[in-house]
Amino acid sequence: MRKSDFLASISLFLVGKSDFLVSISLLLASKSDFLASILLLLVRKSDFLASILLFLASKSDFLASMMAAHIRREESVKHAIGYLGHYDRSFQSLHPNPREYVHENGSIGRVDERPTDVNGVFFGYMERQGKTFVAVRAQYSDIDVVLETAIPLDPPRHTDGKGFGPNPSRLGDESAGRLLSDMILANPQAADQLRQIASRLGLVLSL
């Protein structure tokens, strides 16, 4: 017997014996997103466990709403920002759907590509002298905007406080909305396209 089915059998036996266990399960789930994640993982492993959780949910609207909220968080829109090269060497030749940039020694590097789990805005940034960074691109679906005026990046405001490393950084809706807002203010010629991105994703602009 698989471990998940064994756990399901024990859980079903205990649930049948005690409504008190239902209350304890609700309390733990409400206190811990980690526990909710484990429960959802087990659900994917075992249809039998899924039926138990449905039984628990039928006993409590709170548990049902908690599980729904967690699933919505898992499936929520995700955004990211990826590296497009050094500003002084590559910005003037930047175009939509970039693939490469030029290293300091003249060799060619590959830009960061959209991560497979990112379904929101994929921003692009470049590095300036002194290890400063600027946003230069916003892409979503068929809209791909290369900015005329780069936006100096402020991690607390634009990237959920995350820095810039070898892999694209993920960011939430609030940071994505603020970064789009700053892009619009500095690039009025691209405002319509940037507003379309925000509108499609339901992002709040701080204009």
Q: Work out the mean pLDDT of the chain and round it to a whole number.
A: 82
SS3 string of 167-206? Answer: CCEEECHHHHHHHHHHHHHHCHHHHHHHHHHHHHHCCCCC
Residue with token string 């709170």 = 62
Interval 65-117: pLDDT, tens? 555 554 444 446 699 999 999 999 999 999 999 999 998 888 999 999 999 99
Cβ neighbourhood burial of 188 (10 Å; 0-12, 13-18, 19+): exposed
The DSSP element (H or E) to which 80 belongs, if any, is strand 79-86
Question: Is residue 173 over pLDDT 70?
Answer: yes
22-28 contacts, C-beta under 8 A, 24 or more apart:
22/56, 22/59, 22/60, 25/56, 25/63, 26/56, 26/60, 26/62, 26/63, 26/66
Q: Considering only CA atoms, which of 77, 138, 89, 82 is closest in space to residue 115? A: 82
Read off the pTM: 0.65
Interval 103-141: pLDDT, tens? 888 899 999 999 999 999 999 999 999 999 999 999 999
Residue with token string 């909305």 = 177
